[in-house]
Amino acid sequence: MTEAALEEFNDAKFRRKRKNGTYEVIEAPDLPSFIADTHAHLHMLDDPAFSIARAACCDVRFIEQIVDICEDDLAVFDNIAKWTRQAAVKIPSMTTVMYCCKPAPRVPKFRFAVGCHPHNAKDFDAAAEARLLEVLHDTRVSAVGEIGLDYHYDLSPREVQREVFRRQIRIAKQAGLPVVLHLREAHDDGFAILSEEGFPEAGTLLHCYNLGPDELQRWIDAGCYVAFGGPVTFKKADEVREAAKITPLDRLLTETDAPYMTPEPMRGMKCGSEHVVFTAAKLVEVLCEDDPFAASSMLGQVYENALRLLDREPTPWQREV
């Protein structure tokens, strides 16, 4: 089912399509804090404006949009501005059903992470590097990413992935920006490269963590932020929930990886930033045992973590231009 099909209902309720063609309404978690989606590819959705409006209705107040320097049209920067304006128009009619007793939702603030995904490392030539350096001067950009290694698909040769990863770590350090990591079946090499190059002082975000606590500990010890998305909600992912338990509260983040990795109970549907509320609710269940006071404190801290890492002031390097 597409976002366009959902929009026919003209509200922000979550719906899952049944086999007989009817729709089941899924109750949205009522969370005591604003939420951040620290990793999204909203330009891949059928109707980004509708997703942004739904996210606003779910109190998602910050979104980090990922842009691939080799694959994506840089028009996404302008498109996000257009989609947020369209979302603002949609929100009033969507809120009458769900939010009549709450303050009016607000369109999320966007920042951008730009880099070369390891899938595209083979295309990261001198021209792509020059484009990346130019784009990173844009003060809307707050991170270099997603960058790293992917040994699962191996869409670029591994040696090329490693070299491009190193080059982008150096660029991030030059720009004074944090890095957003994509590591799949490559955590040993990724950690080794970061240890050799030096973890950026601006921060390191381990995106879409889906392994257990044993692997996570060294990343925590290195000072990394850890973002949990859909996998922490999956029924057979107890090890991911155990990893969340050992993550320091001041380095815990929520994300979606939209349009991928949709959390339960919406798994099987295309993911939007609005779905981050289900991930946040699962973290409340796992870390706070549904205690309302603890949940409010924890979620407030997680939201502040996202802003501290990804909504910072322009770096001195960015201000040089």
Domain boundaries, the chain: 3-319
Of 277, 268, 266, 270, nearest to 299 (Cα)? Answer: 277
Three-state secondary structure call for residue 1: coil
pLDDT of residue 101: 53
Alpha carbons 193 and 198: distance in angstroms, whole number: 8
pLDDT of residue 291: 86
pLDDT of residue 10: 73
Kindly state the greatest CA–CA separation across the chain. 59
Alpha carbons 91 and 98: distance in angstroms, whole number: 11
pLDDT of residue 97: 46
Averaged pLDDT in 10-residue chunks for the chain of 321 residues: 53 86 89 97 97 96 98 97 96 67 83 98 98 98 98 98 98 98 98 98 98 98 98 97 98 98 94 98 93 93 98 93 66
pLDDT of residue 102: 62
pLDDT of residue 94: 87
- Whether the full predicted model's pTM is greater than 0.75, yes or no, is yes
CB under 8 A, 24+ apart: contacts of 312-321: 312/142, 312/202, 314/139, 315/175, 315/176, 315/177, 315/202, 316/176, 317/137, 317/174, 317/175, 317/176, 318/136, 318/137, 318/138, 318/139, 318/141, 318/175, 318/176, 319/139, 320/137, 321/137
- Contact, 207 vs 257, CB < 8 A? yes
Alpha carbons 192 and 255: distance in angstroms, whole number: 25
Phi/psi at 102 (5° precision)? -125, 160
Of 204, 199, 137, 141, nearest to 170 (Cα)? Answer: 199
- Contact, 13 vs 25, CB < 8 A? yes
B/e letters for 175-199, b = 16+ CB within 10 Å, e = fewer, are: bbbbbbbbbeebbebbbebbeebeb
pLDDT of residue 103: 67
Superfamily of domain 3-319: Metal-dependent hydrolases (3.20.20.140)
